[in-house]
Chain A
C-alpha cells in the first residue's frame, strides 16, 4: 500500500514561470491537505480539498495560487508567475476521515531562480 506520493521531489523554476505540484493520496483517502514550509519555519496550512471540492482555502495566498482535486487523478497545487519568495517545501497530506490518520508525502522542494 503506497503512501502519499508527491512529485516532483525537486522543482526549479525561473521567476515568472508556472509550477505544478502533484499529490496522489493514499488508497482509500479522500481528504487532501497542502502545507508550505519556508526555510527555518513551521508548516503553514494552505488548503483542504475533497474530491472535486475545496473545503477550506483560508491559507492560500489570494493571487497566483490555486488547487484542485479532480474526480480522477492527483491533487494539483498550481503556482503561477512564481517569485523567489515561493521557494519552499510543499507538503501534501491525506486522511481517510477528517484529521485522523493524517499521513504526509515526502514533499516537493520548489526553488525559484
Chain B
C-alpha cells in the first residue's frame, strides 16, 4: 500500500463553491500531517499543519480521522486563486526524517 493516496482529480468547481477532498495514509503511527499547495511549475508551499483532530485557517479546514486513517481538506467560498494541486503529507515514521509526497489532487476553480 502506498504511504499516501489521493484522488488525482482534476476537480473542476465553480467559484464560490465548497470543495473537499480526502487523503488516506498507511502509517498508523503518523502523528502530524501537512497540506501543501503547488501551483503549476512552482515550488510547494505549506498551507496547513495538522497535529490533532483538525485545524482551521480562514476558508480552509483540515480534519483528521485516525481510526480510518484519512485526512480531509475543505475549502469554502472557493476563489480562482485556489486553483492548484493540493498535496497531503503525513509525518514519516519515527526515524524517517523526510516527507513523502503523493501525486496530489488537482483543483481548478472556474469563473
Tell me the interface secondary structure of chain A in the complex. Answer: strand
A69 interface residue (CB < 8 Å to B): no
> How far is it, in angstroms, between the C-alpha of A102 and the C-alpha of B34 when the chains are bound?
10
Known: A104-B43, A106-B42. A55 touches B102 (CB 8 A): no
Tell me the interface secondary structure of chain B in the complex. Answer: loop
Contact assessment for B98 and A56 in the assembled complex, using a CB-CB cutoff below 8 Å: yes
In which size bucket is the chain B interface?
Answer: 20 to 34
Within 8 A of A (CB), among B89-103: 91-92, 96-103
Contact assessment for A48 and B103 in the assembled complex, using a CB-CB cutoff below 8 Å: no
Known: A42-B102, A99-B91. A48 touches B43 (CB 8 A): no
Contact assessment for A35 and B101 in the assembled complex, using a CB-CB cutoff below 8 Å: yes
In which size bucket is the chain A interface?
Answer: 20 to 34
Closest chain A residue, CB of each to CB of B95? A56
Query: With a CB–CB cut-off of 8 A, which chain B residues contact A109?
Result: 41
* Interface residues, chain A, with chain B CB atoms under 8 Å away: 31, 33, 35, 41-45, 48, 55-56, 89, 91, 98-99, 102-107, 109
* Interface residues, chain B, with chain A CB atoms under 8 Å away: 32, 34, 41-46, 87, 91-92, 96-104
